[in-house]
């Protein structure tokens, strides 16, 4: 059995009114619904704690989007198990894709104005209220990945034992399109590959490495502990 290599946990915020009806929610600072709060509290109780999927003793860094829905998700999920040796940072680089004037719109309505529109190839619109392009989003996600890979590389270089190096997990509390973009870029795919990954409200994605080496970044688990999965337990 190989080492338990360091991991990155991507957690999308819980349910909001706009996530329920499919509106593009970038900079709008919506709260969680009551059901969203219940969802992430239940999820935290299941997966966070000694001996559980996310062991607070192994977490060294938490990055949180500036939006309240992400901050509240982090607060509710950790509950009585805050990581004892961890930096917690509000990081604008893990915010959601900026949709510009498409903020709050449904995809079907955007396509009435911009036929064939796809976030992965078109991004937010140009003009007086521009959004982020796929190239800008790629650059932002890549900055976060570079930061995390340096954390993991430094931990390995400075550790006295392999086990100590592996206690350098990172958790990101963020959003749907950011999560899907991050998965694609972590695996060295173009950002448009994010189209093929799922990130439901309250969903958990696990990323890490294969074959005991930091040279093989991999997707380990996708969209775990969603509302449907919790209800079916």
Residue 233 has pLDDT above 80, yes or no: no
Q: How many domains does the chain have?
A: 1
Question: Taking the CA atoms of the chain, what radius of gyration do you get in angstroms?
Answer: 18
Q: Is residue 2 part of a domain?
A: no
pLDDT > 70 in the chain, percent: 96
CA geometry: angle 166, 69, 150, nearest 5 deg: 25
- Dihedral angle at the C-alpha atoms of 50, 51, 56, 58, nearest 10 degrees? 130
**For residue 184, which of 170, 204, 198 has the smallest C-alpha distance?**
198
Q: Is residue 4 part of a domain?
A: no
**Mean pLDDT (whole number) for 141-158:** 96
Q: Is residue 1 part of a domain?
A: no
Q: What is the CATH number of the domain that holds 58?
A: 3.40.50.1240
Q: Which of 13, 24, 81, 152 is catalytic?
A: 13
Residue 1 has pLDDT above 50, yes or no: no
17 catalytic? Reply is no
The more confidently predicted of residues 101 and 79 is 101
Q: Is residue 86 part of a domain?
A: yes
Query: What's the domain range around 199?
Result: 9-231
pLDDT digits (tens, 9 = 90+) for 180-209: 999 999 999 999 999 999 999 999 999 999
DSSP 3-state percent helix, strand, coil across the chain (nearest 5): 45, 15, 40
Q: Is residue 118 part of a domain?
A: yes
pLDDT digits (tens, 9 = 90+) for 71-87: 999 999 997 778 999 99
Q: Which of 74, 96, 103, 227 is catalytic?
A: 96
Q: Is residue 130 part of a domain?
A: yes
96 catalytic? Reply is yes
Write down the pTM of the prediction: 0.94
Q: Which residues line the annotated binding site for substrate?
A: 25-26, 69, 96-99
Q: Is residue 3 part of a domain?
A: no
Q: Which residues line the annotated binding site?
A: 25-26, 69, 96-99
């Amino acid at each position: 059995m190989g080492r338990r290599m360091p991991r990155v946990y991507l957690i999308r915020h819980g349910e909001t009114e706009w996530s329920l009806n499919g509106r593009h929610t970038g900079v709008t600072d919506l709260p969680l619904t009551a059901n969203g709060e219940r969802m992430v509290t239940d999820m935290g109780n299941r997966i966070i704690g000694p001996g559980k999927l996310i062991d607070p003793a192994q977490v060294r860094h938490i990055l949180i989007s500036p939006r309240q829905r992400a901050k509240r998700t982090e607060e509710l999920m950790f509950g009585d198990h805050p990581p004892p040796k961890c930096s917690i940072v509000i990081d604008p680089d893990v915010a959601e894709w900026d949709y510009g004037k498409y903020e709050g719109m449904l995809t079907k309505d955007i396509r009435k104005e911009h036929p064939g529109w796809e976030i992965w190839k078109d991004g937010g619109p140009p003009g007086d209220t521009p959004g982020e392009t796929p190239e800008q989003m790629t650059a932002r996600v890549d900055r976060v990945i570079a930061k995390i890979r340096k954390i993991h590389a430094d931990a390995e270089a400075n550790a006295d034992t392999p086990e100590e190096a592996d206690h350098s997990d990172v958790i990101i509390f963020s959003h749907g399109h950011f999560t899907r973009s991050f998965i694609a870029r972590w695996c060295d795919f173009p950002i448009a590959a994010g189209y093929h990954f799922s990130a439901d409200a309250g969903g958990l994605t696990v990323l890490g490495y294969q074959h005991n080496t930091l040279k093989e970044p991999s997707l380990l688990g996708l969209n775990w502990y969603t509302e449907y999965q919790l209800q079916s337990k």
